[in-house]
Amino acid sequence: MRHRLAFQVGPVAFRIGSAWRAPIDALGALYAGYPEPEDGICDFTVRLEPEQPWRRWLRPSVAIRGDYMLPDAMPMALAHGLLAAEMGMNLQMALGQKRYLLLHAASVEKGGRSLILTGESGAGKSTLAALLGERGWRLMGDEFALLDLASGALHPFPRAVSLKNGAIAVVEREVIPTRFGPRLDGTPKGAIRHMRPAADALQRMGEGAPPALILFPRFGVAEEVRPVGQAEIFMRLTQASTNYVALGAAGFDALTRLVSETPAAAIDYPDTDAAVALVEDLWRQAA
């Protein structure tokens, strides 16, 4: 392909090819400091290409393609090419990742042990993880947590954090401007701004950590901590995993082990400061 970029996020190497220069330039700036694939070999290929040949120039629209694709994926405006690249990478992980049990979850690390934050989209796990990453924790990832099938440890996947709408201003207050990508308005998910994680998240992206606590956060409700039964946790985590079924017995063993050995709770919180305080409190009890 005409324009291309390859880099590694945690244990996963991507190559992104594009028919246009702009998305690759934006991606290169956002992912500055990420290592090149160690051996030049990539796990996944993402392609940004015109939906039809003439749409390269005429009202350019970006089709998100690659090793794994959704047949009915909507093309995106070229101005949102960076988001298209991110979505393409996420899609490869969601559909193609079979090396680890993939949980749709954010994760952070402290003292060599990890905290898993999972919940429905909009529950605030991305924002919460991003803030914890600026306040003494190491951000392991805001979107996917990779559970090792053999060791049970969590591997980092510190892609650029995807901040949406109201969360953008909350995080902008705490992070230097050079770590942000451009603000993208009017995307299918509203306003989006990507943020490169802090330096330690990048330097230690090869370092996993065993899980010590699972939290199901919910934003916008009065503060509360609720216990969750193990069978319910198991069910919620299978729903939060895109590859649980495909991993067969290995996935079952890894997930039942995680649920049996790791304390968990559901937390409701009215604002992010309350959430951070709650997390620190529960972490002290679990540790």
Partner 1 sequence: MRDARLLVQALRDPDSLHDPDWSALVATARAEQLIGSLAARLAGKAVPPRVEAILESARRDSAYARTQALWEAEMCRRALAPLGMPAILLKGTAFHAADLDAAEGRSVGDLDILVPRDRIEEAEAALIAAGWERMKAAEGYDDQYYRRWMHELPPLIHHTRDRMIDVHHTILPLTARPRPDATALIADSVVLESGLRMLSPADMIVHAAAHLLADGDLAGGLRNLWDIDRLLREFAARDDDFWRKLAERSRLHQLRGPVALALRLARRLYGTPVDRVVAGRTRLGDRLFEARLLARNGWGQERHKALRFAFYIRSHWLRMPPLMLARHLWVKARA
Partner 2 sequence: MAAPRYVADPVEDIRTVALDGLCVLYHARSGATHIVAPPVPEILEALREGPAGAAELLRRLERQFEIEGDGIAARLEELEAAGLVRRA
Q: Under the rule (CB under 8 A), what is the footprint of partner 2? A: 229-231, 234-235, 238, 244-245, 248-249, 252-253, 256, 259-260
β-sheet bridge partners, residue 211: 114
Q: How many CA atoms lie within 13 A of 189 on its CB side?
A: 16
| Interacting partner of 235 out of partner 2, partner 1, none (Cβ under 5 to 8 A depending on kind) | partner 2
Interface with partner 1 includes 127 (CB under 8 A)?
no
Among partner 1, partner 2, none, the one that 40 touches (CB under a kind-dependent 5 to 8 A) is partner 1
Q: How many chain residues bind partner 1 (CB under 8 A)?
A: 28
Min dist CB 245 to partner 2, Å, is 7
Of 134, 152, 189, 156, give the one whose Cα is nearest residue 34. Answer: 156
Phi, psi of 192 (to 5 degrees): -135, 140
Label the pairing between strands 12-18 and 44-50. Answer: parallel
Is the CB of 133 or the CB of 156 nearer to partner 1? 156
Which of 35, 42, 210 has the alpha carbon at shortest distance from 140?
A: 210
Q: Which of 73, 246, 274, 286 binds partner 1 (CB under 8 A)?
A: 246
* Segment near partner 1 (CB under 8 A); pick from 59-67, 138-146, 163-171, 272-280: 59-67
At 190 the three-state DSSP class reads strand
Q: How far is the CB of 5 from partner 1 (least distance, A)?
A: 13
Helices (H) and strands (E) in the chain, counts: 8, 16
Closer CB to partner 1, 102 or 275, in the complex:
102
65-104 footprint of partner 1 as x/- string (CB under 8 A): xxxx---------------------------xxxx-----
Tokens found for residue 89: 């990478």
Q: How far is the CB of 142 from partner 2 (least distance, A)?
A: 28
The answer to whether 106 and 28 have CB atoms below 8 angstroms apart is no
Q: In angstroms, give the least distance from the CB of 135 to partner 1.
A: 34
Q: How far is the CB of 257 from partner 2 (least distance, A)?
A: 9
Alpha-carbon span 10 to 176, nearest angstrom: 23
235/250 Cα distance (integer angstroms): 16
Binders in 248-287 for partner 1, by CB under 8 A:
248, 250
Torsion, Cα 208 214 220 224, to 10 degrees, reads -140
Piece of the chain touching partner 1 by CB under 8 A; list 11-19, 21-29, 179-187, 277-285: 11-19
Length of the chain: 287
Chain position carrying tokens 């709408």: 165
Tell the smallest beta-carbon distance from residue 210 to partner 2 (Å).
19
In this complex, which beta carbon is closest to partner 1, that of residue 4 or of residue 226? 4
Residues 6+ apart with CB under 8 A from 152: 210, 211, 254, 257, 258, 261
CB of 266 to partner 2, least distance (A): 15
Residue 180, token pair as written in the block = 């942000």
Binding site for partner 1 (CB under 8 A): 1, 13, 15, 17, 37-43, 45, 47, 49, 53, 65-68, 96-99, 245-248, 250
